[in-house]
Structure 1
């Protein structure tokens, strides 16, 4: 039985990924800050399928302690899913809160890099796989995206650079770059459920399950195949054109 390490597993894409992998014979280390949600996953899927690792990815000491505390059956990681991430504020850069920017950098960039580096030796030994959830925001910027878009551009390109560095190791590396996905993340990003509902009203966006199914497909491809990067959008979404401010 193979084992996946899924960050941000308390909701949305991460939670759906744990469910999808577990249903297809994988063990999962499910991480997140909300213990009650991880415990609910264990109750639903079984402690033989899910190990809850409760920590904030920004806390390097807590991350190390969680890795040290992994049970024997969950120590051999075959798949790392770098899913944990957040967006705070939609303000123009000149009005943005520096604390919001720092939180996004600490979560979307620093924590992802640290965890990936910590798990790399085992992933190389087991010829495993890394899937990072980037975003189309890393390629197509938008007003107010500033640091979020920058952090996702980093995630996208860091993942492609990993692919180059791991050449010859047998480790597969994929950058998944979704567009509109309706999850709890949207409520946090926009600041309210009402704003989240307005953003996606009538748009028929993707779901966490859509992305989780994509991760499962990639994870179970033959070992000689690698998906380098995969950009997904709902049919209703397109990338924006240029804008011109006229005087």
Structure 2
């Protein structure tokens, strides 16, 4: 995705906000110019992916700018003061908040597998994000890292997947960002239990047409019933269960 593609997905931006996102794009691209991801792609592609995820959930220009810049304090030579001068106090605070969340000792708590510790960490992450957008940027960062986890060494895959399932997916649930929760759970499950994941995914694929026909039939029936009460404008939607959710029902 190029800058124009990102901006096209943000049709309601004011000229000021448009400029903010454009400047953040250019600065992040410059700061990460010499960095490469494990996949071999330029590091900046990750920043763009995070910004795109944030745009998809309709966050504002400050959050999207922070998404583009979210790794600059940790991975480049820029300071918070410089970010504040260039992009304003709120964007700098968001980027700083994401950096602080990234430094939480997640792995140690996960090794103990203590429910109370995990609940405390989730609460601490929410408390540290005085602005909830900090946590949303961090969730978008984790989501893209999970989408590209296949490039990491196997041991790191397991550690990251476990952290994601125990901390980040429940955190997304606490915030009501269900699409994040479902995808984080499924991606984590794929690495933690690959055989079960493949078996359930194959079964779901075989029955996909039947499920879609059933959902269509039920939706039509509900529409007809609602119409009897002059509720023709009601929107009815359905979704199949996600792979991890099905696995949970099987236990």
Question: Shared fold by TM > 0.5?
Answer: no
TM-score (norm 1): 0.34
Q: Which has the higher helix share?
A: 2
Tell which has more relative contact order, 1 or 2 (C-alpha 8 A, sep 6+). 1
- Structure 2 length normalisation: TM-score? 0.33
More strand by share: 1
User: Which entry has the higher C-alpha Rg, 1 or 2?
Assistant: 2
